[in-house]
Structure 1
Amino acid sequence: MKRAVITGLGAITPLGNNVNDFWKNLREGKSGAAPITKFDASNHKTKFACEVKDFDPLIYATKPEVRKMDLYTLYALAATEECLKDSGLNLDKCDLNKAGVILATGIGGMHTFEEEIMNFSENINSPRFSPFFITKMISNIATGQISIKYGLHGVSYSVTSACASSNHALANALDLIRLGRATIIFAGGSEATISQAAIGGFNSMKALSTLNDSPTTASRPFDKTRDGFVAGEGAGVLMIEELEHAKKRGAKIYCELAGYGVASDAYHVAATHPDGLGAKIAMTDALNDARITKEDVSYINAHATSTPVGDISECIAIEDVFKNSLRQIQISSTKSMTGHLLGAAGAIESIACIKAIEQGVIPPTINLNEIDAEINQKLNLTPNNAIEKEVVVAINNTFGFGGHTSTSVFKKYSS
């Protein structure tokens, strides 16, 4: 079976519009939360989010192209461009029939959908939709645009499993590399849902934090005072490359994508199983797929979104899977800084895992002042400050509405 390695990274995030800025601010424990600027949120219960800042789409696309693309696609193109540059790959020397894209999203072109419907409703006597409405909105189009831009003729499709989406994209990419069906895949996720409809919808579900007086401290995973997640946006793209292909071209290898696990809670459309059933299955299968033991794991980047029920069920699952190995494992939720990027969360958090392996640093869980009494107090939740530690194996958990669970395993590369 062929092996897959990570040879390129790209990121657009609330903490920075490239991987270096994202990682620097993550290490320093900075929050990306601030009052919403993308629309007037004065009538919403939640008036803040983790927005991408100072993003200029014209760096990555022409004016005519920008008019034909939703923001989530532009974020994806930007992250892919950085990923390609970081990889040092010369596409002219590659078999483009075996180079492809699997780009995930939870929702897709939310801004486009909202704008078009609102324009339609305001002009009901002379209704008109943009001819680009459908091709801007649909959830596969970022993948298509990336394939078109770079002439990639291999695998090209999107994955949608809510907040587990981009980990599922990595899982699909790994399988295709292992089977020899591809040598290079740009895999990850993109999301741009800081919009009236998204914030209003999540507010109606009582899913979002409403700590409007203190946005930077509102995302507080594991803390007893947490009151909901903070919406985030952005994109993360990883180059998944077949090992021998990477070695032949002398690529820098960040780490190995060693395995994955996928499962379902099969319990509720929005709530996680109280015992973390799907999470347990996904983590156990991921360890088995990667052929590692629970004692090998150094770091878990938790899904932990800062919701009352979800954080507890994930901790129960981690405790059940790792048992006596818990003392040696660091856990943190980088959503405390980035907010929840929905379908892009797994990709961004996977980059955090990869940088932790590369630099031997565990990013913190900020705003964690008192651990919820229902969470095992012995868990190493990395409160408020990063720590230096050798990371040999890091795993990333993602869980989505509908009960979807997915875990990715990253391992320090050794020949």
Structure 2
Amino acid sequence: MMKRVVITGAGTINALGHSVSETLTSMQEGRCGIGALEFQDVDRLSIKIGGQVRDFEAEGRFNRQQMALYDRFTQFTLFAADEAIQQSGLAFDGELATTTGVVLGTAGGGVSTWDDNYRSVYEDGKNRVHPFVVPKLMNNAAASHVSMEHNLKGPSFTVSTACASSNHAMAQAFQMVRTGMATAMVTGGSESMLCFGGVKAWEGLRVMSKDACRPFSANRKGMVQGEGAGIFVFEEYEHAKARGAEILCEVIGFAMSSDAADIVMPSKQGAARAISGALKDARLNPEDVGYINAHGTGTAANDKTECAAVADSFGQHADQLMISSTKSMHGHLIGGTGAVELLACIMALRDGVIAPTIGYEEPDPECALDVVPNEARDAKVDVVLSNAFAFGGLNAVLALRKI
């Protein structure tokens, strides 16, 4: 018998705030966290904007030994995990420790560590690097440190599926709790690619905007990178209920698909299969869904493909849906993006506030859906979806319900 799965804790750090409450307030106010990038050699880049986390003092939070082990993406993860676990009220000892694990998503892992050490070896001519470079940059570093910090001894690993990494990770965590493999799971994702090499690599794709992220707007010019983390506690419903936990919402379904088509160009059919699969897994009818947090990158190819996939999956109900992209505010967090965007889904269910797509200026006939332009909207919704469609044609969609 499948078990019900609920979210009992949430934490984040991103360009919109250093906590869930700060982030949701920023989303409600339609703030833009995208601005001028600040790091070494930024003047050598043609792309000089991003959703950078400001005023994060890692040195004051972590000791010298920890700083030698924690890349920026790990620092963000630990920061957000502390908030999520504290909110959940769980203490991981005894049997609960052995039946709780960590599944996190990241696309690049320790990109800043790669960048710093390539510079040291190739530019500065040094022949030695720190002995902890490998454990600092490896993709599973954040998951491992969360498990050690909070005594989580259950199934723990990292998922890396480009821009769908955190949605794939949260889907795996959901399945583990739903099938009884775990009592609870700490899950989500993080990314920190905002360094010279990280941005320079993305420049090469020629999909980046130099001024703003304007998803679904006819004059959109491309995506804007962001950084940060979103971490959640997924817990078995009866376990949460028995201890009187505050429940944020229920996770009710997911689906994953592969386009099997092109390494960078998205497929309407692949995205539609993931959306329809999530509806089927959650036993939903199209008319049950009130809001979709879109992948919405602000590229011409993604936005029109996603809108077409939504239209195909929802038929006549597509005109009644609200769909928005919060990437317009916090940027594209690559492997961590779905996790931060899940906060907008929770806000829609709990608070009845739909996060807007800011920067919207001109209607696009190929994106003719209600994209909640520029201003947040009060609306009662009971079911939402969160889309993530990645390079490589890897898609993951989550379904959540008010409880």
- Partner Cα separation in structure 2 for residue 182 and residue 28 of structure 1: 38
Q: Which residue of 2 aligns with 1:259?
A: 253
Q: CA deviation at 1:401?
A: 1.0
1:207 Cα deviation after fit: 1.6
- Number of aligned residue pairs: 402
Correspondence for 2:275 among 266, 271, 283:
283
How far 1:210 sits from its partner (Å)?
1.8
Contact 1:171–1:260, Cα closer than 8 Å, also in 2? yes
- What is the 5 A alignment of 1:67-216? 67-92=68-93, 95-124=96-125, 127-211=127-211
1:221-260 matches, cutoff 5 A: 221-260=215-254
Q: Secondary structure at the match of 2:43?
A: coil
Larger displacement relative to structure 2 (321-330 or 288-297): 321-330
Alpha-carbon distance in 1 for matches of 2:367, 2:4: 37
Provide the C-alpha distance between the structure 2 equivalents of 1:334 and 1:80, rounded to a whole number of angstroms.
21
CA distance in 2, matches of 1:243, 1:22: 26
CA distance in 2, matches of 1:261, 1:364: 25
Mapped to 2, the partners of 1:384 and 1:123 lie a distance apart of 46
> Given the alignment, which residue of 348, 354, 357 partners 1:362?
354
Q: In 2, distance between residues paired with 1:196 and 1:267?
A: 31
TM-superposed deviation, 1:291: 0.9
Partner of 1:303: 295
1:360 & 1:194 partners in 2: Cα distance? 33
Q: Do the aligned partners of 1:189 and 1:237 also contact (CA within 8 Å) in 2?
A: yes
SS at match of 1:189: strand
Amino acid at match of 1:350: L
Q: Is this contact kept in 2: 1:60–1:77, CA < 8 A? A: no
Moved over 3 A (4+): none
Deviation at 1:6, TM superposition (A): 0.5
- The 3 A distance-change label for structure 1 pair 206 and 105 is same
Pairwise CA distance, 1:92: 3.8
The 5-angstrom pairing of residues 331-410 of structure 1 reads 331-376=323-368, 379-410=369-400
CA distance in 1, matches of 2:352, 2:180: 32
Distance in 1 (CA, whole Å) between partners of 2:60 and 2:3 is 37
Whether the aligned pair in 2 keeps the contact of 1:112 and 1:137 (CA below 8 Å) is yes
Give SS of 2:263's match: coil
User: In the alignment, is residue 314 of structure 1 matched against residue 306 of structure 2?
Assistant: yes
Cα root mean square deviation, aligned:
1.2
Question: SS in structure 2 opposite 1:84?
Answer: helix
321-330 or 188-197, which moves further after superposition?
321-330
* Unpaired segments ≥5 residues, structure 1: 212-217
Shift in Å at residue 76 of structure 1?
A: 0.3
Deviations 1:341-396 (A, max 9, x none): 000011011111011100001010001111223222xx111000111001100111
Q: Tell me if structure 2 keeps the 8 A contact 1:60–1:78.
A: no
- Kept after mapping to 2: 8 A contact 1:27/1:386: yes
CA distance in 2, matches of 1:329, 1:287: 14
**Structure 2 unmatched ranges of 5 or more:** none
Q: Residues 282-308 of structure 1: CA distance to partner in whole angstroms, max 9, x if unpaired?
A: 000000111111110010000010001
Per-residue deviation, residues 134-188 of structure 1 (Å, max 9, x unmatched): 0000101100001011111101100010000000011101111111110110000
Q: Deviations 1:238-268 (Å, cap 9, x if unpaired)?
A: 1000111101111001111100010011111
For 1:214, the equivalent position in structure 2 comes to: none
Please state how far the C-alpha of 1:123 moved relative to its aligned partner.
4.5
Most deviating of 68-77 and 33-42: 33-42
Q: Could you tell me how far 1:406 is from its partner in structure 2?
A: 0.6
Q: Are 2:113 and 2:136, in contact at CA under 8 Å, matched by a contact in 1? A: yes
Cα offset for 1:67? Answer: 2.2
- 1:39 partner letter: Q
Asked if structure 1 preserves the Cα contact closer than 8 Å seen for 2:68 and 2:136, the reply is no
What letter is aligned with 1:380?
A: D
Q: Is the 8 A contact 2:219 2:361 kept in 1?
A: no
TM-score normalised to structure 2 length: 0.98
1:328 aligns with 2:320: yes
Aligned partners of 1:60 and 1:74 also within 8 Å: no
Percent identical across equivalent pairs? Answer: 40
Residue in 1 that maps onto 2:214:
220
Name the aligned partner's letter for residue 40 of structure 2. Answer: F
